[in-house]
Amino acid sequence: MIDGALPTIPGFTMQSVLGKGGQGRVYEALYKDMPVAIKLYDTDTEIGVKRVLLEVDAIRSLGSDCFPGIFCYGIDTVEGRECIWVAFEFIEGCTLKDLLSTRCLSDDAARSMMIAVSNAVSDLWSIRKRHRDIKPGNIMQKPDGTFILIDLGYAKHLDAEKLTETGWCLGTPGYIAPEEFSRRANATVKADVFSLGITSYECIYGVHPFQRKQRRVIDGRCLPVEPVKGISEELRRTIAEMLSHDPLDRPMPHEITGRLGGGR
């Protein structure tokens, strides 16, 4: 596709590019006069396609309001290439990454973000799925101040062969839990809790606790979690525990929400 040109998918009026990342391209579009965010994934393998569609269906059936609703999805040939597309509820607002480029979050805002993402992770884990790429760029703040987790890892199946070849694992370097990096098969929801711990640390301190280096994550060389003016001891301690090297020492998502006053 020519950069800047918008693809054509029957039923959608494409409006603008929202993002282009490692796993897909995201566009703002109109679907039956409703604004949607439509994400396109290039496909390579048949098995990958089936798995992605099953996963999208499983997550849609969850009906969780902790991530954008899925209107519809399908497969089409777009600019000569077969693509899976998924049309999501359009979220007004900006990413946490954009927000953090100007300021840190208050105690209240950080709690609200941690509760929203913990609930999302908990809903996913109820069907034994993990997000696998929690980071500020994959969390959005709505105009009413609430937060929502985006960019669920549907495309991981498309990368399965590439991953096996390289021995690499999914996620963003600097945010991948140590156990996931070394033994992907055994990682649990606690790996998502770890990535959320890093994201929460960045919200409070304005810096990355492992200086964005996966090597430091593996070696457990975390910057200290020190008192900060205006940030409660409880929040500080919860973030410190989420960053524990051993997953067993990290809280479960429902424990995080319980401590931070957001139990459901």
Ligand X SMILES: Nc1ncnc2c1ncn2[C@@H]1O[C@H](COP(=O)(O)OP(=O)(O)OP(=O)(O)O)[C@@H](O)[C@H]1O
**Where do contacts with ligand X occur on this chain (CB under 6 A)?**
18-24, 26, 37, 39, 68, 88-91, 95, 137-138, 150-151
Nearest approach, Cβ of residue 166 and Mg ion (Å): 20
Can you read off the two tokens belonging to residue 60?
């849609």
In terms of Cβ atoms closer than 10 Å to its own Cβ (0-12, 13-18, 19+), residue 229 is exposed
Segment interacting with Mg ion (CB under 5 A) among 80-88, 135-143, 218-226, 227-235: 135-143
Q: Given the complex with ligand X, which of 34 and 127 has the nearer CB atom?
A: 34
E runs forming strands in 32-174 = 34-42, 70-78, 81-89, 94-95, 139-141, 147-149
CB of 78 to ligand X, least distance (A): 16
Residue 199 or 238: which CB sits closer to ligand X?
199
* 156 within 8 A of 41, measured Cβ to Cβ: no
Residue 115 binds which entry of ligand X, Mg ion, none, with Cβ cut-offs from 5 to 8 Å by kind? none
68 binds, among ligand X, Mg ion, none (CB under 5 to 8 A by kind): ligand X
Looking at residue 162, its amino acid is: K
Minimum CB distance to Mg ion smaller for 151 or for 179: 151
Total residues contacting Mg ion (rule CB under 5 A)? 2
90 makes contact, choosing from ligand X, Mg ion, none, with CB < 5 to 8 Å by partner type, with ligand X
- Judged by CB under 5 A, which of 119, 138, 141, 238 binds Mg ion? 138
Name residue, tokens 């370097």: 173
Shortest distance, position 8 Cβ to ligand X, whole Å: 19
Helix, strand, coil share (%) of the chain residues, nearest 5: 40, 20, 40
**Residue 153 backbone dihedrals phi, psi, to 5 degrees:** -80, 50
- Per CB under 5 A, the list member of 151, 159, 179, 180 interacting with Mg ion is 151
Classified as helix, coil or strand, 91 is coil
List, in order, residues 6 or more apart from 147 with CB less than 8 Å away.
Answer: 96, 112, 113, 116, 117, 139, 140, 141
DSSP bridge partners of 77: 82
Determine contact, residues 44/38, Cβ cutoff 8 Å: no
* Residue with smallest beta-carbon separation from Mg ion: 151
Q: Nearer to ligand X by C-beta: 29 or 235? A: 29
Shorter beta-carbon distance to ligand X: residue 100 or 223: 100
* 39 contact, one of Mg ion, ligand X, none, CB 5-8 Å limit per kind: ligand X
Closest-CB residue for ligand X? 21
